[in-house]
Amino acid sequence: MDSDAGSTCSRSSSPDLVVDDPAGTFFSNKMFQTYCQKNRVDSEAGPGRMEHCSGGKSKTRSELSKEEVQDLRLKVNSRERKRMHDLNQAMDGLREVMPYAHGPSVRKLSKISTLLLARNYILMLSNSLEEMKKLVVDVYGSGAAAQSRAAAHPAIAPAAPTPHLSLHPLSQSLHSLVGSAPSALQHHAPPASSAPASHSPPSTSFLGFHAPVQGLLKEPLHLSSSYRHFPGMPCPCSLCQPLPTTTSTLHSLSMNK
């Protein structure tokens, strides 16, 4: 089959469909039994959700035999499974770069929490970038000079933030916030110890989120809502959604749809 070989279940405690077999044998489990049972039932009685392909009367898919329909269904299911696995892999990739505590003792962020947290994180970074730009303008005296430089060398100073300029101090700021909690930022940033502690980073107001900053990102706070609140980081829950800032960057980043 086309198979979803290599696709790993992103969920550590995945339900019964844990596919450790190579391609093609992913039905070696309860689901396959269920599938077979259902197919048998469908072919006999025909109640349920496959009315128009189980009854045998309405061969909507032209002249496909039952085996061919079944084969087609399996292929479609496999593709859908693969698609969802890819989606979950992307979701895992997103979780990896989110500043929350990773580890065996920490429960994985749910999908919705991951998305909401990612949104807040992007907003926070955008805020930080704006502040950073202001700082640069302050340091170099004139914003006009900086702008003229940027205009003169658009390739060097594009509208998009240069990663080594923005991410580095941002990572340090985040490290100062996160403290000893491990995060995916370790991949991109120098260790927190190397961060100059003397230069006071624009911490809480700078980062623009209103959760308590002192806490470490080890354990989520369990509040009344269904979301878990992590101290010191943008909270994914709707109650803690930050108000959109007025910067054009944030406007362009806001999730409008």
Which positions touch DNA (CB under 7 A)? 9-11, 13-17, 19, 27, 30-31, 35, 38, 49-53, 62, 73, 75-81, 83-85, 88, 107-108, 110-113, 222, 226-227
- 34 C-beta neighbours (distance < 10 Å), count: 12
Nearer to DNA, 58 or 203 (CB): 58
The structure tokens listed for 2 are 């086309």
Q: How far is the CB of 48 from DNA (least distance, A)?
A: 8
Rounded to whole angstroms, how far apart are CA atoms 145 and 132? 16
CA geometry: angle 95, 91, 17, nearest 5 deg = 115
CB 121 within 8 A of CB 127: no
Nearer to DNA, 78 or 172 (CB): 78
Q: How far is the CB of 31 from DNA (least distance, A)?
A: 5
CB 172 within 8 A of CB 195: yes
Q: How far is the CB of 73 from DNA (least distance, A)?
A: 5
Strand partners, 229: 221
Nearer to DNA, 15 or 143 (CB): 15
Q: How far is the CB of 231 from DNA (least distance, A)?
A: 17
CA dihedral over 147, 149, 155, 157, signed as positive or negative? negative
CB 46 within 8 A of CB 54: yes
Cα atoms found within 13 Å of the Cα of residue 122, Cβ hemisphere only: 15
Nearer to DNA, 42 or 130 (CB): 42
Nearer to DNA, 49 or 199 (CB): 49
Q: How far is the CB of 14 from DNA (least distance, A)?
A: 5
